[in-house]
Structure 1
Amino acid sequence: MKILLTGVDGQVGYELLRCLQGLGEIVACGRDRLDLANLDQVRDCVRHLAPDLIVNAAAYTAVDRAESEPELALRVNAQAPGVMALVGREVGAALVHFSTDYVFDGAKDAPYVEGDRTAPLNVYGETKMLGEQAIVSSGIPYLILRTSWVYGMHGHNFLRTMLRLADSQDAVRVVMDQIGAPTWSRTVAQTTAHILAQAQVGGPRWWRESRGIYHLAAGGETSWAGFAQAIMEETGSDCRVTPIASVDYPQAARRPHNSRLNTAKLTHRFCRLPDWRDALALCLRA
């Protein structure tokens, strides 16, 4: 199986490059080799390689900057996946694509299930929603894996920011009224690899029966402040975490207050997911 893997410079792509070994021939592309902002390049790359599987881990993830760069975010998060899907269908590929809890507005008082209405609050979430829609309408065999609050020891993320601040400050102020499940990038990658191993055995019938949107996030829930406190505890830091309200930490892009994702569909069909606190401890030890 020939696998086109995009976004290998990012958090999830970095882990996927390691976790997908053994499933086939991996053609790994970072932004220097495949820039999703260049739609002609995306089209030509998929046609030339004619992969059996496309795993798209590339995305425009600068949530606040997207408010001032909506056209770029749209090309990378919506139009490029749409091109991948259409050309991928032409060459006989299947597609795995990663999306986000930010496709929801956070107004629900329970974890979101896959069929809940999407209503993003910001440009980033809107472009990710449009990317999902483009893939679904393309006709390609697909998996869309929505995840939340991704972190790891590679790339730019909340964990690395907290570790850096803990080394230079006595206290940090962190939002307490946004709730979700911090999800280790390696959890995303390992779960994806596990699912694709099943797909490899099942073949076309597996894709017909399993295609769709799934929520892939760690078990449990916490706030950003709770996540920060757990990081300090796990690392033995004396840095104090001061919980604050979202209104006291203004940002260009609005965030949903409820980012919880119901993962029952994925866990029932494929595998169980670790609790967020257990995964954090493993990440820091690794």
Structure 2
Amino acid sequence: MHVLVVHDYGPLGKILLERLRETSLDISPLLVSDLVSANLSALESWIPEDTDLIVNALWLADPEVAERDPEGTHKAAFSLPLAIAEFARDRGMALFQLSSCYVFDGRKQSGYITSNPGHPVNELGNWQWECEQALRTLLPRHIILRTGWSLSRFIRKVQASTAFDEALSLPGRCIGQPVSMKDLARVITAIIQQLDCGTEVWGTFQYAGAEEISLYE
């Protein structure tokens, strides 16, 4: 199977490529260095014609960044995945797309399941939920993987507050299951290997860390 990994300069792309290259899969990287100026109508020149699976490893997991850059968030979370999905549909390719827990508002008293309808309350979740719905209509052969909180995001917040000797306010009632990038790369790789074995596992999945913890903790 020829797998094209779409990534940016963030660590997930590097970690995922390293892990995938340890498998028997044929892996090609596609670095998107400047998504804002990227021409989405030029996908034919980006994506090799023998690609079987496109993995969009642009992991958007920081709603605060999304609120500061709504235009960039729209392009990364909606426009790019849809352009890839349309391209893949017309050429018999499949798509692996990352989403997040921010498609939900977090008010449910029990855990969310994949069939729960989205109810986003921020810019990031809104476009990810719109993207999910569009992909289900456009491309039957897709994987949508919703993730829990990004662990590295909160580590960066703590480090920044320490560096500037600032107080960091985090709510104790907001419970989640943080995900590390290494663990996410492991899960993505495992799913791709299942696809390579011919397993028809298309659809929406959710993955989060094993331990429930509050933001304060």
Distance 1:183 1:36, change over 3 A: farther
1:32 aligns to 2:33 (yes or no): yes
Contact 1:67 1:123 in 2 (8 A): yes
Q: Which AA in structure 2 matches 1:91? A: R
Q: Corresponding residue for 2:84? A: 84
1:215 aligns to 2:211 (yes or no): no
Contact 1:101 1:146 in 2 (8 A): yes
Q: Which residues of 2 match residues 220-231 of structure 1 at below 5 A?
A: 220-226=211-217
Measured after TM superposition, the shift of residue 180 of structure 1 is 0.5
Contact 1:37 1:75 in 2 (8 A): no
Distance 1:221 1:173, change over 3 A: same
1:119 aligns to 2:110 (yes or no): no
Extract unaligned runs of 5+ from structure 1.
227-286
Measured after TM superposition, the shift of residue 8 of structure 1 is 4.2
Contact 1:8 1:17 in 2 (8 A): no
Alpha-carbon separation, structure 1, partners of 2:33 and 2:166: 39
Alpha-carbon separation, structure 2, partners of 1:69 and 1:163: 23
Normalising to structure 1: TM-score of the pair? 0.68
Distance 1:83 1:23, change over 3 A: farther
Contact 1:43 1:84 in 2 (8 A): no
Alpha-carbon separation, structure 2, partners of 1:20 and 1:95: 16
Q: Corresponding residue for 1:273? A: none
Distance 1:42 1:123, change over 3 A: farther
Measured after TM superposition, the shift of residue 65 of structure 1 is 4.2
Q: Which AA in structure 1 matches 2:193? A: A
Identity among equivalent positions (%) equals 28
Contact 2:177 2:210 in 1 (8 A): yes
Alpha-carbon separation, structure 2, partners of 1:162 and 1:66: 19
Measured after TM superposition, the shift of residue 50 of structure 1 is 4.2
Q: Which residues of 2 match residues 1-286 of structure 1 at below 5 A?
A: 1-21=1-21, 22-32=23-33, 38-42=39-43, 44-46=45-47, 48-59=48-59, 61-67=61-67, 69-152=69-152, 157-166=153-162, 169=165, 172-202=168-198, 206-207=199-200, 210-226=201-217
Distance 1:49 1:34, change over 3 A: farther
Distance 1:36 1:217, change over 3 A: farther
Measured after TM superposition, the shift of residue 7 of structure 1 is 1.7
Alpha-carbon separation, structure 2, partners of 1:108 and 1:76: 28
Between stretches 14-23 and 91-100, larger displacement belongs to 14-23
Q: Which AA in structure 2 matches 1:2? A: H
Contact 1:37 1:80 in 2 (8 A): no
Alpha-carbon separation, structure 2, partners of 1:170 and 1:130: 36
Measured after TM superposition, the shift of residue 106 of structure 1 is 1.3
Q: Which has the larger radius of gyration?
A: 1
Normalising to structure 2: TM-score of the pair? 0.87
CA-atom RMSD in angstroms: 2.4
Alpha-carbon separation, structure 2, partners of 1:73 and 1:173: 25
User: Alignment length, in residue pairs?
Assistant: 216
Contact 1:34 1:41 in 2 (8 A): no
